[in-house]
């Protein structure tokens, strides 16, 4: 079976500084993999390389067996690769509902139409509201995104990713910046994702990682340090030394 996402020998440097070094990573269909590593390990850079925001200097990215290394970001998205951003990237001046309708519209190619009214396709609106329902955002449907508290904006970020109907989903610290009183809602949503979607989650909160992930990849200084099941990672002395050992004085400000 071809993997949903396969990254082969990916390299990227910023000037003289290598930030991604020979990274291999495979997400099988329905994978639940966490990507962990100390700050500056190159986790977000890797996501940017996979999604096409950045071009790698060497290596390949395959989506469902197809080489997408040369494809634009938008072309990758249309092939079922979705992501959330570490810092919200939303249409802040539009309503929550419009944020979702836009995503559904672009996904299905409705946005090529210049003539009919955007509201005339009932199924687009219904589907958009469906995503809002599932994240309990329906009451905020007609509010502008910028009027929402950050935690709820974070949910919109996830709703947009879901509305893309992705086959591979990259979550870059989905609960970052959200008060812990609300983060459980986001984590419930992540836990309840369609089992067919391959998910890669970047997360600092080890409780979340161990609860959610079936496999863990540890990134250190741009390279894959080790990977394995949560148990293997937890019992790996070297990992504890370079990463988990820091958790104590990292002091839960991410979770």
Partner 1 sequence: MAASETIGAAARERATDYLAKRHRFRLAEALPWLIAIAVFFIFPTRMTFGSQVLVMVMFALSLDLILGYAGIVTLGHAAFFGVGAYTVGLAAARLDWTEPISGLFAAAIAAGLVGFVTGWFLLRYRGLTLLMLTLATAILLQETGNLRSDISGGYDGLPGLTFKPLLGVFDYDLYGHVYYLYVLAVLAVVFYVVRRIVYSPFGQALTGIRENVRRMHAIGSPVHRRLVTVYTIAAAIAGVAGALFTQTNAYVTLTVFDFDNSAKVMVMLILGGTGRLYGAFVGAAVYMVLEDYFSKLSPTFWQFGIGLMLVLAVLFAPRGILGLFERVGSYLAERKRS
| Site residues (vs partner 1, CB under 8 A) | 51, 53, 72-78, 82-83, 85, 89-95, 97-98, 101-103, 105-107, 110-122, 125-126, 129, 132-133, 138-139, 141-142, 160, 164
CA distances to 114, 128, 204 from 152, rounded to whole Å, are 32, 16, 20
Q: Going along 123-214, which residue ranges are E strands?
A: 168-172, 198-202
Q: Measured from the CB of residue 73, what is the shortest distance to partner 1 in angstroms? A: 4
Q: Measured from the CB of residue 5, what is the shortest distance to partner 1 in angstroms? A: 16
Q: Measured from the CB of residue 49, what is the shortest distance to partner 1 in angstroms? A: 14
DSSP assignment of 189-248: HHHTS-TTSEEEEE-S-HHHHHHH-SEEEEEETTEEEEEE-HHHHHT-HHHHHHTGGGHH
CA distance 58 to 150: 37
Q: Which is nearer to partner 1, 82 or 206 (by Cβ)?
A: 82
Q: Which is nearer to partner 1, 84 or 236 (by Cβ)?
A: 84
Q: Which is nearer to partner 1, 79 or 211 (by Cβ)?
A: 79
How many other CB atoms sit within 10 Å of the CB of residue 136?
A: 12
Q: Measured from the CB of residue 238, what is the shortest distance to partner 1 in angstroms? A: 35
């Amino acid at each position: 079976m071809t993997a949903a996402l396969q990254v082969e020998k990916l390299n990227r440097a910023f000037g003289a500084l290598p930030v991604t070094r020979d990274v291999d990573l495979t997400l099988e269909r329905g994978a639940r993999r966490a990507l962990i590593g100390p700050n500056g390990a190159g986790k977000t850079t890797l996501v940017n390389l996979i999604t096409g925001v950045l071009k790698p200097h060497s290596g390949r990215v395959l989506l469902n067996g197809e080489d997408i290394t040369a494809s634009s970001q938008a072309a990758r998205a249309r092939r079922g690769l979705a992501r959330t951003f570490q810092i919200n990237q939303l249409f802040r001046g539009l309503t929550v509902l419009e944020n979702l309708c836009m995503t559904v519209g672009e996904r299905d190619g409705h946005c090529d139409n210049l003539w009919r009214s955007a509201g005339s396709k009932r199924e687009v609106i219904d589907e958009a509201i469906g995503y809002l329902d599932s994240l309990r955002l329906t009451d905020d449907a007609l509010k502008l995104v910028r009027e929402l508290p950050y935690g709820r904006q974070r949910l919109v970020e996830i709703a947009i990713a879901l509305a893309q109907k992705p086959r591979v989903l990259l979550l870059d610290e989905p609960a970052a910046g959200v008060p812990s009183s609300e983060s459980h809602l986001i984590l419930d949503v992540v836990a309840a994702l369609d089992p067919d979607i391959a998910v890669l989650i970047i997360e600092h909160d080890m409780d979340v990682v161990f609860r959610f992930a079936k496999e863990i990849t540890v990134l250190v200084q741009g390279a894959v340090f080790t990977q394995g099941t949560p148990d293997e990672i937890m019992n790996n002395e070297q990992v504890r030394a370079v990463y988990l050992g820091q958790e104590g004085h990292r002091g839960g400000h991410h979770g």
